């Protein structure tokens, strides 16, 4: 099972990345937005997904185009509000 994330930062070009598993619950979660505790928990999870690993490398590879070859089960939109 795979989820493709459409990453929207509102100031730059849209990017994409692929996650193994079902991440539908992160749809419409934007980092740096205000909200309820539940939203903050989802923001924390999204931030963890995007974080760097123990070797200083990003955990996800940002892509410039939609990865059709991945044949995703789910597509969600997430991002960052500047």
For every residue of the chain, DSSP letters joined together read -EEEEEEE-SSS--EEEEEES--GGGTT-EET----HHHHHHHHHHHHHHSB-TTS-BSS--BSS--GGG--SEEEEEEE--
Tens of pLDDT, residue by residue over 9-30, are 988 899 999 999 999 999 999 9
Q: How many whole angstroms separate alpha carbon 79 and alpha carbon 69?
A: 23
pTM of structure: 0.88
Across residues 74-82, what is the average pLDDT?
A: 94
pLDDT (0 to 100) of residue 38 = 65
- Strand-strand pairing, 74-80 and 30-31: parallel
pLDDT (0 to 100) of residue 15 = 96
What does the mean pLDDT of the chain come to?
A: 91
Domain boundaries, the chain: 2-80
């Amino acid at each position: 099972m795979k989820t493709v994330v459409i990453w929207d930062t509102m100031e730059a070009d849209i990017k994409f990345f692929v996650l193994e598993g079902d991440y539908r619950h992160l749809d419409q979660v934007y980092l740096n937005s205000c909200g309820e505790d539940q939203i903050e928990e989802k923001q924390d999870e999204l931030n963890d997904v995007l974080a760097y690993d123990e070797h200083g490398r990003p955990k996800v590879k940002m892509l410039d185009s939609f990865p059709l070859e991945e044949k995703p089960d789910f597509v969600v939109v997430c991002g960052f509000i500047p």
